[in-house]
Amino acid sequence: MRLNRLLLIDDNPLDRGLTYRILKKEFPEVEVVEIHGPEDFDRHLKEGDFQLVITDYHLRWANGIEILHQVKAVYPDCPVIMFSGTGNEEIAVEAMKAGLDDYVIKSPRHFVRLPAAIRGALKHREESAAAHQAEARYRMLFEHAGNPIFTYDLDLRIIEINRIACDLFGKKKNQLLGRRLFELGLIHPEDRKRIEEDLKRILTGERIVVEKLRFLLPKGESAIFEITEAPIYQDKTVVAIITICRDITERERLLRALKESEDKYRTLVEQSHDAIFISRGNRFLFVNDRVSEMTGYTKSELYQMKIDGLIHPEDQVLLDTSGIPKRYVARIITKTETTHWGEFAVTRINYQDQPAVMVAVRDITDRVKVEENLKRSLDQLRRTIGNTLQAMAKILETRDPFTAGHQIKVAELARKIAQRLGLSEKRIEGIYNAALIHDIGKISVPAEILSRPSKLTKPEFDLVKNHCRIGYEILKGIDFPWPVAEIVLQHHERLDGSGYPQGLKGDRIMLEARILAVADVFEAMTSHRPYRPALTTEAAIDELRRNRGILYDPKVVDVCIAIVLRGIDNQPDTVNLSHGLRG
């Protein structure tokens, strides 16, 4: 957690001054707000403009525990640290029970513990917030899952159950919690033993148990569920079991129908729009008419063939029957040696009283062609984007011939910096493209101002400074695959907040903009302008070093200087951009 502002509540000016000096030494960037009375405290408590409170126990207008209660009542997660006098440990313990995060004995010997107490309180708040978020996510997933979920303890008593499970069993949550599974009559009597066996298996080390169980529903019906059970541990000991249920009643009914009546199954398969076959090993046992239509072979020919003879050699590894059920896409070689694309769905079945594999194949050749055409169109679009950006840059250069080539030079240097920093290719491409048009907002600035050799007036300079925001407004409506508008908006921001247009500081400036800022400044300093000659490379490097960590990101500056010293032109780096250009 980043500490920006804290409240310091202490009536004693000497103690308050000592505390202030300790805080500014350890946390120089933190704003310390000194509270002198109840009016100050009430105002800041209402505004909530702080992340931590340090209070003395003895105040003229209150005591530390009262302050603690008031802060925690409004901001329960805000850390509070209290000063207590020597001999007041009982008060400190009482305050800790009331929610105090830490206390420091008010003596010169103990004052040095204050920074550690602050860091510990902030760390505890972060950990507590993370735990609350994890619990909230778990609770949301548990309650809103699409499947019934419940947990039970080692006595088979339900300790948690979600809404969909309550709906399934036709009971309210308070009617189920604390009750034993068998008492509720939810499980078919013939299947109860399986639950007990599953519990034994989990207690002997199995982590996940998958079973089929019959649940008894409110109207006297029974439904078949596939349940997945896993242990819940506390201190490395199993204390409960979580059970996730999936209704497979319909699936089981279909499987029984398939087993009981192969004739009905054949009728269903033959009428399918998908090619369906049953196989064992590398041989066909059954094929429907659609298999013949898709491959061009007759059924008699197919029964004499090996299955892998129909599959493209590069895709034959997908025929491996391990990991079933599974789905995959493979190329099919027809009798006329044309290629079709097929989407395969594979499952195990019992056929003629022996294990076999059933495969449904959907011809997706047209879909694959559409996807390939779409990919080509997308590649063309990205190339068009690149060409358009370069054209936009050229338009700006025609208005300001003194900065011709500035944007492409900045883009090249920014790309090199991003590469050396190890950014992803997508981010590198985004930085490159943003740099190509980072000054596009200057299109709103009169050309005579851009090329004036004399010093600009304040209104004229304000007009030039507005080019960042104008560029953002021009670009924000374009759906780039990178944050181009935001990078352009921030490329004149500085680490210390002295930049424009928003006065952002530090990490609030996106990394892409920090990279572009350094590349832009270096290229501008080493280029001739109407109002000044170009600086030498050495002078520009000195300027970057002087403002390293003040105006410019120190890592970016170091990388930029390393690139310049190696010689940008002598050792060019290249990267393939997705729009087809090569930087």
- At 223, which CATH number? 3.30.450.20
Domain boundary residue, one of 184, 218, 251: 251
What DSSP designation does 446 have?
-
Domain limit, last residue, from 201, 222, 251: 251
**Do 352 and 291 belong together in one domain?**
yes
Neighbour count for residue 357 (Cβ, 10 Å): 20
pLDDT at 582: 35
The total number of structural domains in the chain stands at 4
Closest CA to 227 of 205, 254, 255, 202: 202
CA-atom Rg of the chain in angstroms: 36
Of 113, 137, 161, which one is at a domain's C-terminal end?
137
Cβ burial 4-28 (10 Å sphere, 16+ → b, else e):
eebbbbbeeeeebebbeeebeeebe
Query: What CA–CA distance (Å, rounded) separates 334 from 332?
Result: 6
Q: What is the pLDDT of residue 301?
A: 94
Establish if 333 belongs to a structural domain: yes
Same domain for 379 and 420? yes
Per the structure block, which two tokens stand in for 259?
Answer: 């087993």
Report if residue 234 sits inside a domain: yes
Whether 578 is covered by a domain: the verdict is: no
Is the same domain home to 431 and 553? yes
pLDDT of residue 515: 96
Q: Do 518 and 417 form a contact (C-beta atoms < 8 A)? A: yes
CA distances from 243 to 142, 167, 173, 177 (A): 11, 16, 16, 15
**Cβ 416 vs Cβ 570: under 8 Å:** no
394 and 482 within one domain: yes
- Is there a single domain that holds both residue 338 and residue 453? no
pLDDT at 133: 84
Quick one: tokens of 573? 């780096």
Report pLDDT for 326: 86
> What is the CB neighbour count within 10 angstroms for residue 337?
7
Residue 580 lies in a domain: no
Same domain, 71 and 130: yes
The pLDDT averaged over each successive group of 10 residues in the chain (583 residues) is: 88 89 91 92 91 92 92 92 75 84 85 90 88 82 85 91 89 91 86 85 79 84 87 88 88 78 67 88 91 93 93 89 84 93 92 90 91 80 71 66 73 95 93 90 77 78 87 89 93 95 95 96 84 84 94 96 77 39 35
Q: What is the dihedral of CA 147, 152, 154, 155, to 10 degrees?
A: -130
Is 177 inside any structural domain? Answer: yes
Q: pLDDT value at position 572?
A: 44
The predicted pLDDT at position 365 comes to: 92
Same domain? 392 vs 359: no
Can you give the CATH number for the domain in which 23 is found? 3.40.50.2300
Do residues 299 and 310 lie in contact, with contact meaning Cβ atoms separated by under 8 Å?
A: no
Interior/surface letters 369-383, b for 16+ CB within 10 angstroms, e for the rest = eeeeeeeeeeeeebe
Is the CB of residue 356 less than 8 Å from the CB of residue 349?
yes
Specify the pairing of strand 283-287 against strand 326-333.
unpaired
pLDDT of residue 462: 83
How far is it, in rounded angstroms, from Cα 122 to Cα 141?
29
502's enclosing H/E stretch is: none
Q: What is the Cα–Cα distance from 118 to 73, expressed in whole angstroms?
A: 20
One domain, residues 203 and 111: no
| Residue 9, domain extent | 5-137
Q: Are residues 125 and 180 part of one domain? A: no
Residue 544, pLDDT score? 95
Flag whether 577 is in a domain: no
* Mutual angle of helices 365-399 and 425-436, in 10-degree steps: 40
Contacts of 55 (CB under 8 A, 6+ apart): 7, 9, 10, 64, 67, 68, 80, 81, 82, 83
579 falls within a domain: no
Q: Would strands 326-333 and 339-351 be described as parallel, antiparallel, or unpaired?
A: antiparallel
- What pLDDT was estimated at residue 43? 92
* Same structural domain, 207 and 335: no
Q: Is residue 446 part of a domain?
A: yes
Residues 494 and 525 in one domain: yes
Among residues 29, 123, 121, the alpha carbon closest in space to that of 80 is found at: 121
Check whether residue 456 and residue 417 sit in a common domain. yes
Distance CA 279, CA 286 (A): 7
CATH number of the domain bearing residue 469: 1.10.3210.10
